[in-house]
Each structure stands twice: as C-alpha cells, then as structure tokens.
Chains A and B, each alone.
Chain A
Amino acid sequence: MLHIVNKSATDRGSLESCLAMATKGSAVLLIEDAVYAATTGGAAAAKIQAASADLKIYALGPDLAARGMAARVLDGVNVVDYAGFVDLVAEHKSCQSWL
C-alpha cells in the first residue's frame, strides 16, 4: 500500500498517524508541506529515519526544490519526480492520502 502525506509534521499529526498505521513493507510518499519531514535537522528527521527501517520512504523532488530543501534530504529517503509518483501509485494495489 502507498501512503501519501501532504502536511508538515510540525503543524499537524498526519505523518505520525500514517507511520503508526503503515504496515511493514509499505511505501510512504511525502508531498507538499510534508517534504520538510524528509530533511536534515528537522523535528521529524529521527522519526523518518526510524521508520525507514520498515517502510520505504519517498519525497517528491519538485516540492523539495520549491521549498529550498533539495540539498537537505535525509539518507534513506528516495527522491522521486512526478513520473516516479505516478509509478508508485501504479505499483501499489491501493493508496491512502492522509489529509
């Protein structure tokens, strides 16, 4: 299953709720304001790195770049473009947007 998160983890709880409910081996894609969680030095960095042991973590490159964060991506986070986003949706049987 693909989980899509679009909220900043320091503003709302959706990343935390998502990580609690994502089963082992599923994928989590961070888009829009959620991409800050995938960057170094942020409050959510430890959570993302811990989660990346059991989950595949992705972040949308254009959203990182638009926020000046393209060069600060955490190790273990896979950066994808929109084509990669489309592929992730295609590869997983279902997806859930944590709005």
Chain B
Amino acid sequence: MQFGILVNEGPYSHQASDSAYLFARTALEKGYKVPRIFFYHDGVYNASRLATPPQDDRNVGARWSKLAADYGVDLVVCVAAAQRRGITDGVLGDNFRISGLGQLVEMGIQYDRLVTFGD
C-alpha cells in the first residue's frame, strides 16, 4: 500500500510537520511505501537548509533529508508556494526538489491514501 503525505505548515511554529514526519517514518518502518511527500503553503519552509536550530532541538530539515536518503522518498516542494516565500533551489536541503502542484494531484490519483497535516 502506498501513502502520499501533504505537509502544509512550516517547522517549529506548528506541530503539523513533526506529526507528518513521525507518521511517515512509522509507515516506512512498518513496511508501507511512502513514495512522495509534498510540501505546500508554509510547509515549503521545511525544505530550507539555512535553518540552524539549537543543538538540543530536533533539526526538522535534516530529519526529512535523512528519511528520504534512508527510504528513497521523493520530497517535493510546490514551486508557486516556494517562490512566494523565497524558497529557491539554492536553499534546498538534501533530497528536496521543487516542482509543480501536478505532483500533488498525481499522489491523489496514483496512491492508495493521501494524508494531510496542517493547521
């Protein structure tokens, strides 16, 4: 079974991004497939590699990058939402890429489930 995940909030200001990460990681650990995670609205801020949280806090961006590296998850950032918020190719963390909203729609069409995390 394939899960798509939509993340609509940025890290550190709302729990949605943490909930989405824990859901994705658990699904992958249980053997489900999460081929793609889509970042929309302020969710695009998850992709910034410029964030430098304190040492004793979680590093949300790096955590997503590692999940993608470990399980081959496609981390897609919406281009229109990203451009509005200054997220460009130059600031993307590892394994994130910028693409269109069509990638989100494809998740809805092709995968068995689409789970939204947001505010």
Whether B115 contacts A82 by the Cβ 8 Å rule is no
By the criterion CB–CB under 8 Å, are B113 and A89 in contact? yes
Partner of A99, one of B15, B114, B118: B118
Main secondary structure of the interface of B (DSSP, over half): mixed
For chain B, give the interface size range.
Answer: 20 to 34
Is B26 within 8 A of A32, CB to CB? Answer: no
Q: Which of chain A's residues 39-94 have a Cβ closer than 8 Å to chain B?
A: 62, 82-83, 85-86, 89-90, 94
Q: Find out whether the CB atom of B26 lies under 8 angstroms from the CB atom of A83.
A: yes
Interface presence of B1 (CB below 8 A): yes
Chain A, interface SS category: helix
Residue A5, interface by CB 8 Å? no
Instruction: Report the contact-size class of chain A (Cβ under 8 Å from the partner).
Output: 10 to 19
Q: Specify the chain A residue showing the minimal Cβ separation from B27.
A: A86
Question: Closest Cβ of chain A: how far from B26's Cβ, in Å?
Answer: 4
Q: Please, how many angstroms separate the alpha-carbon atoms of A31 and B18 in the complex?
A: 12
Q: Is the CB of B118 within 8 A of A97?
A: yes
Nearest A residue to B14, CB-CB: A32
Interface centre among A86, A90, A97 (most CB of B within 10 A): A86
Q: How far is the CA of A90 from the CA of B1 in the complex (A)?
A: 8
Closest CB of chain A to B108's CB: distance in Å?
Answer: 10
Question: Do A86 and B26 form a contact, CB below 8 Å, given A6-B19, A99-B8?
Answer: yes
Residue on B with the closest CB to A62?
B22
- Determine the residue in chain A with the shortest Cβ distance to B18: A32
Residues of A within 8 A of B116 (CB): 97, 99
Which residues in B have some Cβ–Cβ distance to A below 8 Å? 1, 3, 8, 15-16, 19, 22-23, 25-27, 30, 32, 113-119
Interface residues of A (CB under 8 A from B): 4, 6, 31-33, 62, 82-83, 85-86, 89-90, 94-95, 97, 99
